[in-house]
Amino acid sequence: MGISFFWSKGFLLNRSFLWLLFICNLLGTIYGYIWYDSQLQWTAVNKPLWTLPFVPDSPTASLFFTMSLLYLLFPITKPTRIANMARVIVEALAVVTSVKYGIWAVSMIIAGAAQGDVLNWTHYMLIVSHLAMAVEALLYVRFMKTGTAAFAVALGWLLINDTVDYTLNVNPWLPDELEDDRAAVELFTYGLSLASFAAAWLAGRFRKS
């Protein structure tokens, strides 16, 4: 059994493994929303309430991917047009946002450390879990029904999110060491949205059945 077995269709679509992945992502999503509790409370007090959905970026991405796993665990044999449309949008959001925020979080942690932020076990846990978000999304896109148009919708969501984040200052809180680099972080964030769309599109374009 070669290492390629671990990204084969037989392994990735094994129901036991899908359930394990679903549980891990569900727990990670819940943990992520708890992680954002302080910022959500601060935003509710200091910013318009409609900005709240734009605050917890990573757990929302994880939520979309968790929902996508349900489509694989419980496939609908005869979906309606609306149900099928909902699926392709959710899957597109799952892939594009997971790639974007998985890489973004790791980049911010490393950038903060490079400028003097002291890392602890939580940082390393976040690095591993966020890298896993990006990797699993690209591994599973080939089993999804989503496509270019839906990826474009997901990109639109990311760009709106980026604009709200950096116009109204509801972006994920940065390490103190990066606060004087907000302009560079903003530019990187927009660029990463475009790169994540491209990565999702390429992964979907060359998927194998």
Report if residue 6 sits inside a domain. no
What is the tens place of the pLDDT at every residue in 173-208? 999 999 999 999 999 999 999 999 999 999 988 765
**Residue 35, in any domain of the structure:** yes
Nearest Cα to Cα of residue 109 among 130, 86, 133, 94 = 130
Least confident among 7-11, 160-164, 166-170, 205-209: 205-209
Q: Side-chain half-sphere of 76: how many Cα atoms within 13 Å?
A: 17
pLDDT of residue 58: 97
Decide if 209 contacts 171 (C-beta within 8 A): no
Domain count, the chain: 1
The DSSP secondary-structure symbol of 13 reads T
CA 2, distance to chain mean position in Å, is 29
Farthest CA pair distance, the chain: 56
Per residue in 102-142, pLDDT (tens digit) is: 999 999 999 999 999 999 999 999 999 999 999 999 999 99
**Domain membership flag for residue 100:** yes
Query: Which secondary-structure segment (H or E) carries 144?
Result: none
What is the arithmetic mean of pLDDT over 81-88? 93
Do the domain assignments include residue 4? Answer: no
| DSSP state string for 87-134 | HHHHHHHHHHHHHHHHHHHHHHHHHHHHTTPPP-HHHHHHHHHHHHHH
Dist. CA 146–CA 143, nearest whole Å: 9
* Weakest mean pLDDT among 8-12, 83-87, 123-127, 136-140: 8-12
Indicate the pLDDT class of residue 209, thresholds 50, 70 and 90: very low
Specify the amino acid at residue 71: Y
Average pLDDT over residues 159-171: 97
Q: CA neighbours within 13 Å on the CB side: how many for 4?
A: 0
Mean residue pLDDT of the chain comes to 94
Instruction: Flag whether pLDDT at 36 surpasses 80.
Output: yes
- Quote the percentage of the chain above a pLDDT of 70: 95
Residue 105 maps to a domain? yes
Nearest to 68 by CA among 38, 94, 35, 41: 94
- The answer to whether residue 9 sits within a structural domain is no
Report yes or no: 62 and 28 within 8 Å, Cβ to Cβ: yes
Q: Are 55 and 39 in contact (CB under 8 A)?
A: yes
Q: What is the pLDDT of residue 76?
A: 83
What's the pTM?
0.93
Classify each residue of 55-82 as buried b or exposed e, where b means 16 or more C-beta atoms within 10 Å of its C-beta.
bbbbbbbbbbbbbbbebbeeeeeeeeee
21-26: average pLDDT: 97
pLDDT at 40: 97
Residue 74, pLDDT above cutoff 90: yes
- Asked whether residue 109 is assigned to any structural domain, the reply reads yes
1 in a structural domain: no
- Structural domain span for residue 177: 15-205
